[in-house]
Homo-oligomer: A and B are copies of this chain.
């Protein structure tokens, strides 16, 4: 990713990406001009085209890199299918919260700017998102089949849990009242109760 049009400085390429992420998260893709990004980086507007063929590709790269990092990190954090279901759910929740807490700008962009992707790019990003959702879907469906989780409609429960968890990025603040660890614990508790299972920190007894 981070497609170069020439053999330019890697440092500047990263600065462009970072500036674009911050500005787009703050003001929105359509509202941010290439001149603004250039000013933030400390170069002239024309120089940006050494690092991206156009503005649309810059957005697509931000979103697809974010989704690919999310998937790769999720796959590393995931427990195999033969691990206890409560461990698998807990690992997913803790991973999702901690990953999202440190990436508020990217998360925001990946939700908000889908509509500004050209159709081909949109489909690519959506496919990655669906793959991620399915990782939780698999845990919940395995749990429902095993009688450990009560999911009702699986798709609704999956979407509800993802929405609940991702919501952390709308209010989390580094300087806030709660530590990331405390927030993780809390969401683990909520997620377990949501599927009618005893939160791991409280007890191992059946409901």
Contact = CB atoms under 8 A, between A and B. Distances in A.
Interface stretch (A36-44, A78-86, A160-168): A160-168
A129 to B, nearest CB: 11
Interface SS of A by simple majority: helix
Contacts of A153: 178, 182, 186
Contacts of A159: 167-168, 170-171
Interface stretch (A24-32, A45-53, A62-70): A24-32
A20 to B, nearest CB: 15
A109 to B, nearest CB: 11
Interface residues of A, number: 36
Given A26-B115, A112-B112, A167 B157 contact: no
A61 interface: no
Contacts of A168: 159-160
Contacts of A189: 152
B164 A170 contact: no
Nearest to A150: B193
Contacts of A196: 193
Contacts of A157: 186, 190
A112 B170 CA distance: 11
Contacts of A171: 159
A139 interface: no
Nearest to A187: B160
Contact of A156 (B29, B116, B161, B186): B186
25 contacts: A26-B115, A27-B30, A27-B116, A29-B31, A30-B31, A152-B186, A152-B189, A152-B190, A153-B178, A153-B182, A156-B186, A156-B190, A157-B190, A159-B170, A159-B171, A160-B164, A160-B167, A160-B168, A160-B187, A162-B167, A163-B164, A163-B167, A193-B193, A193-B194, A193-B196
